Amino acid sequence: MRTKAEHTQIQPAKSSASRSGLRRSKRVILDVPLVVRGHREDKHPFREETFAIRVSAHGGLVVLENRVSLGQTVVLMNPKNWDEREATIAFLGPPYAGLATVGVEFARPAPEFWALSAPPVDWNVS
């Protein structure tokens, strides 16, 4: 007689290779200083000097001390080029050095925001 666990089929996790095939633009591992403005989960405004650890033409992975919610809008400012963009919180990830990892997504691709001298070829979204 089989147990219930033996009847259950476990679906394999998608590999990072299959997920990367769905990406709209290549991600680059890069430490980019940022200033992020928005509202915390408790609705109080914040301004935080922080950094991104991965970036793409469509957004990036940012570390934050302040707590934010999925779907909320924040403003990112890159102090290297003073570019400022609105972004949506699209992902809340695991902690990184005691800070939250937060995926942000631009409303429209903004490869110039990150001020890379040699961005990936697929970042040319003109």
Give pTM, 2 decimals.
0.77
What is the per-residue pLDDT across 46-62, written as a single tens digit (0 to 9) for each? 999 999 999 999 999 99
CA atoms within 13 A on the CB side of 53: 13
Best mean pLDDT range from 14-18, 24-28, 97-101, 117-121: 97-101
How far apart, in whole angstroms, are the C-alpha atoms of residue 97 and residue 12? 29
CA atoms within 13 A on the CB side of 87: 31
How far apart, in whole angstroms, are the C-alpha atoms of residue 49 and residue 28? 21
Q: State mean pLDDT over 79-97.
A: 95
The CATH code of domain 24-123 reads 2.40.10.220
Please report the pLDDT score of residue 54 as a whole number.
93
Please report the pLDDT score of residue 34 as a whole number.
97
What is the per-residue pLDDT across 60-71, written as a single tens digit (0 to 9) for each? 999 999 999 999
Confidence of residue 27 (pLDDT cuts 50, 70, 90): confident
Please report the pLDDT score of residue 23 as a whole number.
62
